[in-house]
Structure 1
Amino acid sequence: MQSAVSLTATAIAQEAETSLATLYVYFGDVSDILFVLAEEASAAITDVLATLEAWDPRGDNTGGARCFLDAYRAYWTRHHAVLVLRNMESDRGDARFADIRKRAGVRIVRALAGKILSGHSGATLTDEQAMARAMVLFAAIERLAVREMLYDDEGPEIQEALHEAQIGILSELVSA
């Protein structure tokens, strides 16, 4: 297996069992192929968003947090190779990849901010404070999702402890 940084159109065409000419009919270069894959993976967050929509922060916050984080973990497991590439290209300054990363992330951040506000009804938490808390939390969740995929050799105990820690922190953050 080669690094995505050194991925060639020839290697992709061979893996896809198609000709290089056919590949270039649909894509200008390797970056265009990765971009389409990243768009598809980023659009696949509907299950994650559904868990946030179903979560009533006035009820069982631990259950709601677990449901959301389990869905997000499953989403990253399904799409990790493409999402890591999307994030890498975004971090390297490619505006196209940064835009699709942002569009997917903003949907989750807004939903999390809504849960934080709902869980703090009657408190003096502003929309901006809820949004800022959701952004910080989502940045950690996304980074830990990558971490779980890249460093899973530390054993299931540490992976589960990290997951439970995220559930506890999210649950507490949403609670008043």
Structure 2
Amino acid sequence: MANIGKLANVIPITSASGAIRRKSAAEAEREAVAHNLNGQRLGRKGRDTRDRIIAAAQDMLAETEDAGLVTLSEVARRASIRIGTLYLYFADLTELILAVLEPVMATMEDEYVHLVREYWPDAELHDRALTFVQAYFGFWERHSRVLHLRNSMADRGDMRMLEHRVRSAIPVMRLLVTQMDSRPMERGTPTSSMATALMTGLERVATVMTDNKITKVLNEPVNPMDYLLEAEARLFELAIRDQRRHNQPV
């Protein structure tokens, strides 16, 4: 599994607005939709072709349990275009999967990130944490195949996928630091390290428990997921409570 904390130390994570000041995903998406890779402006037909390619990749991911079977040649066949035409829109598989991920990641805020924005009172820490980890796991369940493909590509050394994986965790890590009554997230502090450890553990649980091969091995009369999410919520509660105590002014 990729080391979220290590790469988080390389990627800028703070700014006045809390945003990463590179070209935004929305800006990149608008540029991608506006032009093909030859720089030609896309008309309606070009946009339809691009959308058809993305839809074919989405269909493949929905139909196969082995995301590794998704190939550009098969996507082109399903989209009823030549492979050369596909390369006018996507330079490689990474670019295509990033396009598939775009609408998925756009739902993060509504699905689980907003749950960390509101301060969790001490008396409600466990319940708030449990609601959050359940929502995060639900997000993973709904989109597990494309997220597993992203992570497997990142684990094989695809830096664009590794960056995507880390960047998707940073907003919650930053908000967790705020929950701990600390300053805005800075690299290398005990609080930021705690936030990194919490999100790394939660992602690992979601990754393992949405892996069909692993869940078949863990086929038991009682589904262990409820216990795991309860345990994750407890870890969040204890970590936040502990950091709040340490971060209180003397």
Give me the TM-score of the superposition, normalised by structure 2: 0.60
Whole-Å separation in 2 of the counterparts to 1:109 and 1:86 = 20
Code of the residue aligned with 2:126 in structure 1: it is T
Deviations 1:75-127 (A, max 9, x none): 11121111111112222222211221121111111111211236xxxxxxxx8
Q: Does the alignment pair 1:112 with 2:176?
A: yes
Whole-Å separation in 1 of the counterparts to 2:65 and 2:130 = 35
1:116–1:130 Cα contact (<8 Å) kept: yes
Q: What corresponds to 2:81 in structure 1?
A: 19
Q: What corresponds to 1:122 in structure 2?
A: none
Q: Does the alignment pair 1:37 with 2:100?
A: yes
Whole-Å separation in 2 of the counterparts to 1:128 and 1:100 = 23
Question: Shift of residue 35 of structure 1?
Answer: 2.3
- The change in CA–CA distance for 1:172 and 1:96 in structure 2 (over 3 A counts) is same
Deviations 1:142-169 (A, max 9, x none): 0000111013332453111111111111
Whole-Å separation in 2 of the counterparts to 1:32 and 1:3 = 19
1:39–1:100 Cα contact (<8 Å) kept: no
1:8 to 52, 58, 71: 71
Q: Does the alignment pair 1:73 with 2:137?
A: yes
Question: Shift of residue 54 of structure 1?
Answer: 2.4
Q: Does the alignment pair 1:161 with 2:161?
A: no
Whole-Å separation in 2 of the counterparts to 1:87 and 1:128 = 26
Code of the residue aligned with 1:135 in structure 2: it is T
Q: Secondary structure at the match of 2:80?
A: coil
Q: What corresponds to 1:49 in structure 2?
A: 113
- The change in CA–CA distance for 1:132 and 1:57 in structure 2 (over 3 A counts) is farther
Whole-Å separation in 2 of the counterparts to 1:2 and 1:139 = 24
Whole-Å separation in 2 of the counterparts to 1:77 and 1:70 = 10
Deviations 1:18-59 (A, max 9, x none): 313543332123232112223443343212110001242434
Q: How many residues align?
A: 167
Code of the residue aligned with 1:159 in structure 2: it is M
Whole-Å separation in 2 of the counterparts to 1:164 and 1:72 = 13
Aligned-residue CA RMSD in angstroms? 2.2
Q: What corresponds to 1:170 in structure 2?
A: 236
Q: What corresponds to 2:163 in structure 1?
A: 99
Code of the residue aligned with 2:223 in structure 1: it is E
Q: Percent identity between the aligned chains?
A: 26
Question: Shift of residue 171 of structure 1?
Answer: 1.3
The 10-residue stretch of structure 1 (91-100 or 129-138) with the greater mean CA deviation from structure 2 = 91-100
- The change in CA–CA distance for 1:160 and 1:2 in structure 2 (over 3 A counts) is closer
1:143 to 165, 186, 204: 204
Code of the residue aligned with 2:238 in structure 1: it is E
Q: Secondary structure at the match of 2:189?
A: helix
Whole-Å separation in 2 of the counterparts to 1:82 and 1:76 = 9
- The change in CA–CA distance for 1:2 and 1:136 in structure 2 (over 3 A counts) is closer
1:52–1:68 Cα contact (<8 Å) kept: yes
More helix by share: 1
Code of the residue aligned with 1:19 in structure 2: it is I
